[in-house]
Structure 1
């Protein structure tokens, strides 16, 4: 009898901040994989509004009720982090065709670095297909409503943070 394999996936991103589109991908991934690591990138080349520990704490707060999800901060090569954590799949969200070229290039590079780790592209519900963290920050900075775009706690933290930077 063949031993059952635990299928663990990793969903990496900056998540600055996490949106309802990201959460939709988390929920879709949990329908396919046994467990999921939401991997918060600590990328020194990107300027972020929230620190990696702040982003991680926000994500933990909004995914806390989902079983088999952990949130971790990583630095360095994603495939190394995935391999170390026994993840066989990298989840990437694709909102539109414009995302595909970059994501495809990254998937091919990750495969070159470690052929044991696959990349799976997932699309969010149509209502989130336009949504990005950058757009959310811009709308919030201009005083627009974030209802339905981010969890309430994220909206509150975003408003507070943007008020501090003015």
Structure 2
């Protein structure tokens, strides 16, 4: 069974994240969505809220599991039995950043990274942007998956 690991803060889990996750599910048997936790970086949503939101989206799909982790993503992926990491790329800045991390993960941990380019209609969506709009009282539902 081929498992992949999709890591992020997912604060919140956006339509862009869902698009990447859904495309991964078309290629792999199992997807582990890993919510990275950094005690020094407070998110707008608690870990339980983020976990519940993602589980609601994939309710009934036994191919998807949600975990939280601290430390290095490559270690969490190995613990999950993943053959590779999956990352979404929106633009050249994302690409350069992800390329460098992918090389480190491959050299140090022996795990490959699959980069999926964002759907052009969603490439402007980021968790940071959604959180900022939400913080200022705007309705952000158009950027978030239903369910």
TM-score w.r.t. length of structure 2 = 0.92
SS, match of residue 142 in structure 2: coil
Any conservation in 1 of the 2:54–2:66 contact (CA below 8 Å)?
A: yes
Q: CA deviation at 1:43?
A: 1.5
Give the Cα–Cα distance (whole angstroms) in 2 for the partners of residues 123 and 150 of structure 1: 19
- Once residues 135 and 60 of structure 2 are traced to their aligned partners in structure 1, the CA distance between those partners, rounded to angstroms, is 29
1:134 aligns with 2:128: yes
Q: Kindly tell me the number of residue pairs found equivalent between the two proteins.
A: 147
> 74-83 vs 6-15, which deviates more?
74-83
Q: 8 Å contact 1:59–1:71 — kept in the other structure?
A: yes
| Conserved? CA contact 1:34–1:68, under 8 Å | yes
Match of 2:118? 124
- Higher RCO (C-alpha 8 Å, min separation 6): 2
Q: Distance in 1 between matches of 2:11 and 2:84?
A: 23
Which protein is bigger by CA-based radius of gyration? Answer: 1
Give the 3 Å change call, closer, same or farther, for CA 69–121 of structure 1 in structure 2.
same
2:3 matched residue in structure 1 = 8
How far the C-alpha of 1:139 sits from its partner, in A, is 1.7
Moved over 6 A (4+): none
Moved more, 38-47 or 20-29: 38-47
Report what 1:149 is aligned to: 143
Q: Matches of residues 14-29 of structure 1 in structure 2 within 5 Å?
A: 14-29=9-24
Aligned 1:1-166 pairs, distance under 5 A: 6-115=1-110, 117-152=111-146
TM-score after normalising by structure 1? 0.82
Flag structure 2 segments of 5+ consecutive residues without an equivalent.
none
8 Å CA contact 2:18, 2:145 repeated in 1: no
Paired residue secondary structure (1:102): helix
CA-atom RMSD in angstroms? 1.5
